[in-house]
Amino acid sequence: MKLLTHNLLSSHVRGVGPRGFPLRLQATEVRVNPVEFNPDFVARMIPKVEWAALLEAADTLNLAEVPREPTEGYEHDEDFLRKMHHVLLEVEVLEGTLQCPESGRLFPISRGIPNMLLNDEETET
Amino acid sequence: MLKKLKSAERLFLLIKKLLPFTAASLSKGKILNEVQQLVHNDPRSWLDAVSIWRNLLKLDVNREEFSQRDANPLKRKMRENEGVIAKKLKTEEMQKIEENHKEYQLEEQTEDTLEQRESTMRRDKLEKEEIQKEVEKAAGAHSQEDLTFRVSCRCSGAIGKVFTAQEVGRIIGIALMKQFGWKADLRNPNLEIYVHLNDIYTVAGIPLFRVPLASRTYIKTAGLRSTIAWAMASLAEIKVGTFVLDPMCGLGTILLEAAKEWPDGYYVGADVSDSQLLGAWDNLKAAGLNDKIELLKVSVIELPLPSESVDIIISDIPFGKKFKIGKDIKTILQEMERVLHVGGTIVLLLSEDHHRLLKDCGGSHMPLDSKGSHTSEPRIKKCLIPEEKPDTSERVTSSYEGGNQECSDKMSPFGSLVPVEYYKVSLGKTNALICKYKKSSTSGL
């Protein structure tokens, strides 16, 4: 699971509304993969990023050199884009957990795939 | 290069296409005569096709020796029932084949892209003449050689009641032998000829590939037929940085086709089944697309995504035959609608039953009788020829046939999902519909 994906996930446990985001990340196995850098792609993702969530996740994983916020004119700032590319796309959580901040419910991440299926009692009907 | 066609299932080199034989009015003997005339009337077109075929074969062999493979593909016919998008490609194909024949003669081994060929189609008149000359040269040489062939024939419709496929096949075979001196070999012929007679057309062609184009080199285990998957992805308008979700991805076929063709999107697939996800992961790995496609184990009716966070949803809704679809299709669509951005696109593959369900559940305020007669017929649209109809909603580029303006209101299954277009496709044994919706800004019920 990449950090870009983590940034988009929110908790859907019953009764949990906007406080179900972001999911707290805990990682026991992380891998860094080189991924082809596409500046256009990264530039388009920047506006969608929830920065607080990203920074929290990056801190948990002890990532260095994470930009704190988008710089002015970031679309052309290659250095900035490359750093974001690394944080969002090249860091992969293989094993770990995601925790709903409101309900405390834990969702496991296994082989890079987060399992967010809810039991029947937990689903919002 | 023909192998790059993504939406075509099988390709044929067209020899002849005629109006159907009017079986009802003529006697059996007369029809047999007409069938023979297929060959005798116009031997030129047969020879032309064969020589083009030979040249294409030679080129393929050269190219593959070049790339160190020694398979010798024969080329194959595109079935008429293969889906509307494929039809368009077929007509382009015939022209392209002639184009390429010429291009290859002049420039060796140039990599052709689909776009290049489409632009060169404009100049066909002039080039056609040049091709004729070259083909005649080639044909002259070839008619002397021994060619073994086999005729595969299919008869259906009215003419199928009068003749069996074997009878027609035999007649054509004999005619070919008489006309060109080729020898028939039923086991292992050089040249295979497909003839198809039915109520709509009479067609003869030479198959181009031995293996259907739908079997991709980069997909290990296909779920959905990859031609349909590609077609769906192409309807979805994927751009750079688009967030594309397939919430019932299964083995990931749709995402694979999309990511291969449009690598600049952000792709996420979800499924509830471990075995499917494992299969999808294998497929991603085999295609080298692990980095482009993320997988989640989530349920489509409870997506752990904030509302309005997804740009595009493409999905093959399980028909209920192979996989159990425990949830209502309406519930599924509701959740999809929730996570979709305004202006976002949904492309779904629906069974005919699902489609009917969706049509009926919308527009409950409409009187049933006026709706009944209209919506019961599936509206088949020939592809990519949008007829611009005046429409109240600006967001919808409606391609419905005349008089259906009211129907587009009846058909929105949910407040803000507006149907844009749909196509009937064949999945082999069953039929289905590819339906495209857009989320409009007017919130509904």
With a pLDDT cut of 70, the percent of chain B lying above it is: 58
Size of interface A-B (CB pairs under 8 A): 65
Q: What is the pLDDT of residue B115?
A: 34
Tokens of A102: 């409101």
Mean pLDDT throughout B379-385? 32
Q: How far apart are CA B194 and CA B151, in angstroms?
A: 6
| pLDDT exceeds 60 at position B154 | yes
Confidence of residue A121 (pLDDT cuts 50, 70, 90): low
pLDDT at A113: 93
Residues of chain A neighbouring B306 (CB-CB closer than 8 A): 8, 10, 21
Under an 8 A CB cutoff, do A12 and B272 touch?
Answer: no
**Assigned domain for A122 exists:** no
Residues of chain B with Cβ-Cβ distance to A123 below 8 Å are 302
Residue B334 touches partner A, C-beta closer than 8 Å:
no
Q: What pLDDT, on a 0 to 100 scale, did the predictor assign at position A15?
A: 67
Q: Is A124 contained in some domain?
A: no
Question: Contact A118/B264, CB-based, under 8 Å?
Answer: no
Containing H/E element for A58?
helix A51-60
At a CB cut-off of 8 Å and minimum separation 6, what does B133 contact?
A: none
User: Maximum Cα–Cα distance for chain B, whole Å?
Assistant: 74
Which member of A48, A113, A123 has the closest CB to residue B295? A113
Residue A83 has pLDDT above 80, yes or no: yes
Span B324-332, average pLDDT: 68
State the pairing for strand pair A24-32/A91-99.
antiparallel
Which tokens in the block code for residue B402? 């005349």
CA-nearest residue to B269 within chain A is: A113
- Parallel, antiparallel, or unpaired: how do β-strands B12-18 and B340-351 relate? unpaired
Which residue, among A113, A116, A117, would best test binding to B if mutated, counting the most B CBs under 10 Å from its CB?
A: A113
Side by side, which strands form the sheet with B12-18? Answer: B12-18, B202-207, B191-197, B148-155, B183-184
Q: Would A125 be classed as within a structural domain?
A: no
Would you place residue B146 in the very low, low, confident or very high pLDDT band (cuts 50, 70, 90)? Answer: low
Instruction: State the pLDDT at residue B75.
Output: 24
Å from B259 to nearest chain A CA? 13
- Asked whether residue B311 carries a pLDDT value surpassing 90, the answer given is yes
Q: Is the pLDDT of residue A64 over 90?
A: no
**Partner-chain residue, chosen from B240, B241, B268, that has the shortest CB–CB distance to A5:** B268
User: What 8-state DSSP symbol labels residue A120?
Assistant: G
Q: Per the CB < 8 Å rule, is A44 touching B241? A: yes
Domain count, chain A: 1
Distance from CA of A111 to the nearest CA of B (A): 10
Contact call for residues B284 and B314 (beta carbons, < 8 A): no
Distance CA B372, CA B374 (A): 6
A117 and B297 within 8 Å at the Cβ level: the answer is yes
A45 within a domain of the structure (yes/no): yes
Question: Which region among A33-37, B7-11, B274-278, B361-365 has the lowest average model confidence (pLDDT)?
Answer: B361-365
Distances from the Cα of B358 to the Cαs of A61, B52, B57, B348, in angstroms? 46, 48, 48, 12
Measured between CA atoms, how close is A40 to chain B, in angstroms? 7
Tell me the chain B residues in contact with residue A9 when contact means C-beta distances shorter than 8 Å: 296, 304-305
Distance (Å) from the alpha carbon of A75 to chain B's nearest alpha carbon: 13
Between CA B71 and CA B211 the distance in angstroms is: 11
Q: Which residues pair with B350 in a beta bridge?
A: B433
Mean of pLDDT values over B162-177: 83
Which residues are within 8 A (CB) of B51 and not within 5 positions of it... i.e. 6 or more apart?
A: B135, B138, B139, B142
Whether residue A18 is preceded by a cis peptide bond, meaning omega within 30 degrees of 0, is no
Query: Which amino acid type is present at position A6?
Result: H
Q: What is the pLDDT of residues B23-35, one digit of tens each?
A: 556 677 777 777 7
The lowest-confidence range among A31-40, B185-194, B339-348 is: B185-194
Long-range contacts of range A121-124, CB-CB < 8 Å, 24 or more positions apart? A121/A14, A122/A13, A122/A14, A123/A14, A123/B302, A124/A12, A124/A14, A124/A15, A124/B302
Cα separation, A95 vs B118, whole angstroms: 48
pLDDT grade, residue B139 (50/70/90)?
very low
- Sign of the Cα torsion B356, B362, B364, B366 reads negative
Alpha-carbon span A3 to A27, nearest angstrom: 12
pLDDT at site A63:
87
Asked, for residue A108, whether it belongs to a domain, the answer is yes
| Domain assignment of residue A90, yes or no | yes
Average pLDDT, integer, range B102-113? 33
ipTM of predicted assembly, 2 dp: 0.91
What is the pLDDT at residue B22? 66
Please, which residues have CB within 8 angstroms of residue B155's CB and are 6 or more apart in sequence?
B163, B164, B165, B168, B197, B198
Q: Tokens representing B79?
A: 């079935």
Measured between its terminal Cα atoms, the distance across chain A in Å is 28
- Residue ranges of E strands in B131-184: 148-155, 183-184
pLDDT confidence tier of residue B258, bands split at 50, 70 and 90: very high
Is the Cβ–Cβ distance between B53 and B139 less than 8 Å?
no
The mean pLDDT of chain B is 67
Output the DSSP codes for B43-77: HHHHHHHHHHHHHHHHHHHHHHHHTT--------P
Question: Which of B312, B351, B358 lies closest to B334 in space, CA to CA?
Answer: B358
With bands split at pLDDT 50, 70 and 90, how would you rate the model's confidence at B172? Answer: confident
**Torsion of the alpha carbons at B379, B384, B386 and B391, rounded to the nearest 10:** 70
Residue B407: which residues within 8 A CB-CB, separation 6 or more?
A: B374, B375, B400
CB atoms inside a 10 Å sphere around CB B68: 6
pLDDT band at B378 (very low <50, low <70, confident <90, very high): very low
Q: Do A111 and B281 touch (CB under 8 A)?
A: yes
A2: distance to nearest CA of chain B, Å?
8
What is the span of the domain harbouring residue A58? 3-117
Residue B233, burial from CB neighbour count under 10 angstroms (0-12, 13-18, 19+): buried
Q: Which of A69-73, B67-71, B118-122, B157-161 has the highest mean pLDDT?
A: A69-73
Q: How far apart are CA B380 and CA B84, in angstroms?
A: 9
Q: Which of A41, A116, A118 sits opposite B264 (nearest CB)?
A: A41
Return the SS3 of A113: strand
Rg for chain B, CA atoms, rounded = 25
Of A37-51, B196-210, B400-414, the range with the lowest mean pLDDT is B400-414
Predicted local confidence at residue B195, as pLDDT: 83
Q: Is pLDDT of B271 > 90?
A: yes
Query: In this predicted structure, which of A39-43, A74-78, B99-103 has the lowest mean pLDDT?
Result: B99-103
CATH number of domain containing A94 = 2.20.25.10
For residue A113, give how far its alpha carbon lies from the nearest alpha carbon of chain B (Å): 5
How does residue A4 score in pLDDT terms, banded at 50, 70 and 90?
very high
User: Which of B264, B266, B302 is nearest residue A123 as measured by Cβ atoms?
Assistant: B302
Residue B123 has pLDDT above 70, yes or no: no
Going by the DSSP 8-state scheme, the letter that residue B236 receives in this structure is T
Both tokens of B40, joined, read 């005798």
Establish if A19 belongs to a structural domain: yes
